[in-house]
Amino acid sequence: MHRNQSKTLGEEDSPALLTAIEQSKISVIIFSEGYGSSSWCLRELEKILECKNKYGQIVIPIFYRVDPSDVRHQEGEFGKAFSQLEDRFKVKDPGLSQRWKTALTETSNQGGFVSNNTRDESTLVNDIVEDILKKLNDEYLVIDNYNLVGKIAKKFDTSYFIRNIREESEKSEGLNDLRQRLSSKVFGDKNPNIGFTSQKRRLGCALIVFDDVTKLEQMECLIEDFDYLDSESRIIITTRDGQVLIKCGVDPIHIIKMEEMSRDEAFQLFNKYAFGESGPTEDYSKLSSRAVAYAKGVLVALKNLGSSLFKRTKQDWEGVLQNLKKSPHKDIQRVFKVSYDGLDYKQQQVFLDISCFFRGCEGYLLEEVLDSCGFVSHSCINVLIQKSLITTPSNIITMHDLLQDMGREIV
């Protein structure tokens, strides 16, 4: 979580701070009378709104001893402080002032917490903390806004989507925190204390999706409290490694390899991220077709590419799509590279050899070549298959275009 409030004069933007904003789930903006006098804070505010529009980051404005209307219209004491700052930048950067005004108006329009409405400041703090905790729970434990799972959710009494399990488990106490948020959401415990809950209510017929599982231990931790599931309930586990599902006790007949999205589904998803609810205008339709063609039906590619093009000009779109011919989109590549980083050295070398030279080669021929170079190729190839980095239809070695692009970029 990132907090934004007024700073002392002389402080400057820090690249590390801007990175922290980009990686946060929630930004809390504390507006005070002197907030508008800080160019540092206003630049930070611009970055927060960029992340809100691009990544769906949650923004919570707090108006501390200042009227939201004064922030919205840059009036009162807040407006005086802003006017002084505005005068300093009029010559240096005439467009900067208008960008700041737009940012202040957009943020204050969405409401928030107003200190003047609460007699006791400690009550205000408690209300803010509870709101943040609720939003964090909802961020991790809701069905995706675009109904990627909710197509079947209506068949169940309740449904939960627990995302980013791999990322959370890599943080100190991250998995335990996620487990507590899950228990709080599912069982209605306001302040859950896992292991000491006296009684759990039955969930009825529930759908629970655990997203991006990488280890059996993660599932053992997260489902320990779910002895009360109805027999009609369903647990779905998504993973990059098929072997994880076997270790979790999933029957092989219930393991399903995800297919690429259809062209219509791909356009629908991409357009939601690139244009919001309004959808594309006619002059963007050809550009959208090029972007969807690049993504090749991969959900993460459609989502990341669409988000990166949100509210961008046609010239920007042309530039981004042109650059994709030379190198993969960095956000898409970062997601795919997680699977590559999980390989050992020899497995990585086999993957890179395939991406550069052996895509489309027959399996037995690839093994002969690699074995002659000192690799135990059969074992390496099986790991790549289990991690869905390559496929072997009719014993022909192949991989997705985006994975091949990533491999060549690494080389």
pLDDT digits (tens, 9 = 90+) for 58-111: 899 999 989 999 999 999 999 998 988 888 887 677 778 888 988 998 898 887
Rounded to whole angstroms, the Cα distance separating 311 from 301 reads: 18
pLDDT tens series, the chain, 411 aa: 556 654 444 444 567 788 888 878 889 999 998 998 888 899 899 999 888 877 778 899 999 989 999 999 999 999 998 988 888 887 677 778 888 988 998 898 887 898 887 668 888 888 888 888 777 665 555 444 444 544 777 777 777 888 888 888 888 778 888 887 777 766 665 554 444 443 455 566 778 889 889 999 999 888 876 766 777 888 899 998 888 999 999 998 998 887 778 888 888 888 888 887 667 778 888 899 999 988 888 888 888 888 888 878 888 899 888 888 777 777 777 778 888 888 999 999 999 999 999 999 999 999 999 999 888 889 999 999 888 889 888 889 998 888 898 899 899
CA distance to 139, 336, 355, 357, 360, per residue, from 400 (Å)? 30, 11, 10, 14, 11
Cα–Cα–Cα angle for 50, 265, 320, nearest 5°?
A: 40
Cβ atoms of residues 327 and 319 within 8 Å: no
Q: Residue 297: which of 265, 341, 335 has the closest Cα? A: 265
Cβ atoms of residues 48 and 4 within 8 Å: yes
Q: CB 404: neighbour CB atoms within 10 A?
A: 18
Rounded to whole angstroms, the Cα distance separating 352 from 355 reads: 5
| Residues classed as catalytic | 44
Identify the three-state secondary structure at position 203: coil
- Note the maximum CA span of the chain: 78
pTM for this model (two decimals)? 0.55
45, containing H or E segment: helix 39-55
pLDDT, tens digit (0-9, with 9 covering 90-100), for 238-269: 998 888 999 999 998 998 887 778 888 888 88
